[in-house]
Amino acid sequence: MKILFVCLGNICRSPMAECICRKIIAERQLDIEVDSAGIIGYHQGEQSDRRMRQAAFERGYHLSHASRPVKYSDFEDFDLIIGMDDSNIDALREKAPTSDALQKIKPMASFFSATIEIDHVPDPYYGGTQGFNYVIDLLEDACENLVNQLSISSI
Ligand code: 4NP
């Protein structure tokens, strides 16, 4: 199983999702691979946003991903392609080369617990520190549920 997390710039939300998921997968010794990418290539090669790395560090995570844009082969290589918001999902659907690829695209919010009252992972880029912490809260919840679902379906 290979999962690709996608946001706009691949410097805040999707590398954080990748990092959280990677930690859960390692703790449970599961055979799941994760990566992340951005809709835009503007930040290609850059490490994650300093504010995201700081918020991650304070919660016990180390972000080491270098930003890269989504590429054509991702739609072949990954089993699940998870977008952070509706705009990411729309852009992924436009890029998907086949109907098989379209089926792989899912919103991160589809893995939120029922108690969460928002339907996307909001872009923290133009906001303050609180926004980055909130993104981590949402992603921890979604990653836990996502990995649980995958573990159950592979039994
Ligand atoms: P991300 O956040 O999509 O969560 O990585 C953003 C990063 C960069 C920009 C916007 C959002 N930007 O406009 O450059």
Dihedral through CA 9, CA 118, CA 153, CA 56, nearest 10?
A: 50
Find where tokens 């918020």 sit.
55
Report which ligand 1 atom has the smallest distance to the Cα of 15: 5
pLDDT for 153 equals 76
Structure tokens at 74: 């991702």
Domain ranges, ordered by start, for the chain: 2-152
Q: Hey, which of 5, 6, 10, 11 would you mutate to test ligand 1's pocket, going by the most ligand atoms within 8 Å of its Cβ?
A: 11
> Could you read off the pLDDT of 51-71 as tens digits, one per residue?
999 999 999 999 999 999 999
Please list the ranges in the chain whose pLDDT falls under 70: 154-155
CATH tag for 2-152 (out of 3.30.70.3400, 1.10.645.10, 3.40.50.2300, 3.40.50.920): 3.40.50.2300
pLDDT for the residue 152: 85
Residue 49 is classified by DSSP as: P
